[in-house]
Chains A and B, each alone.
Chain A
Amino acid sequence: GAVVSQHPSRVICKSGTSVKIECRSLDFQATTMFWYRQFPKKSLMLMATSNEGSKATYEQGVEKDKFLINHASLTLSTLTVTSAHPEDSSFYICSADRLAGVSAQYFGPGTRLLVL
């Protein structure tokens, strides 16, 4: 199956700092990537849709100035959590669609963020 990677897999940061998470599609091109967050024992919640070469589309209630998304190429999308606070601690997961054909979303392994 298609491979999607995320970096870093785990990050601990101080409150007030910014954290960047990378999502890469390793063996296919993706015009669209998605960012999710997941709290313990909860389901995945879609945060935003990342579109290559254009602005991301955010879900209702997600602050676009807080969660900056950049999709600069067909294989890379980044999520930056700005001025992180403890309540931003969560499991962040990205996914990517294949460029053509019947698509299946392939998910990255996730990034666990802990804000102290």
Chain B
Amino acid sequence: DAKTTQPPSMDCAEGRAANLPCNHSTISGNEYVYWYRQIHSQGPQYIIHGLKNNETNEMASLIITEDRKSSTLILPHATLRDTAVYYCIVRVDTNAGKSTFGDGTTLTVKP
């Protein structure tokens, strides 16, 4: 799986949008971009994923650049409960597609 690069930490004010970047410059054509988050002492929670089009669900939006070498996860109105470690992962969409976790971004939402 391709390697991803994320900033180690970010702060965001409560109620504002949180934009979390991810670089995946070596992504292959059959690899999807997945985002997960992990709140302390819990298992990772799936947020969103996409191949090349922008995606939106009830939790977040995912913006993937046209060359697919980077993406941004957007939490439109961050709350204190969004404080977590956010992981960007690229993996093939098969039942054997392993998820290789990097160090992620620790997002701290402040009141």
Show the binding face of A for B, using Cβ within 8 Å: 1, 4, 6, 30-32, 34, 36, 43-46, 49, 51, 91, 93, 95, 97, 99, 102-110, 112
Contacts and interface: CB of A to CB of B under 8 A. Distances in A.
A108 B49 contact: no
A107 B103 contact: no
A15 to B, nearest CB: 24
Chain B interface size range? 20 to 34
Main secondary structure on chain B at its contact with chain A? loop
A95 B99 CA distance: 10
Given A1-B46, A43-B104, A105 B41 contact: no
B34 to A, nearest CB: 7
16 contacts: A1-B46, A6-B43, A32-B96, A34-B99, A43-B102, A93-B43, A93-B44, A95-B43, A95-B44, A99-B95, A102-B49, A103-B97, A107-B36, A107-B45, A109-B43, A110-B41
Contacts of B102: 43
A44 B102 CA distance: 8
Contact of B42 (A43, A51, A109): A109
Nearest to B104: A43
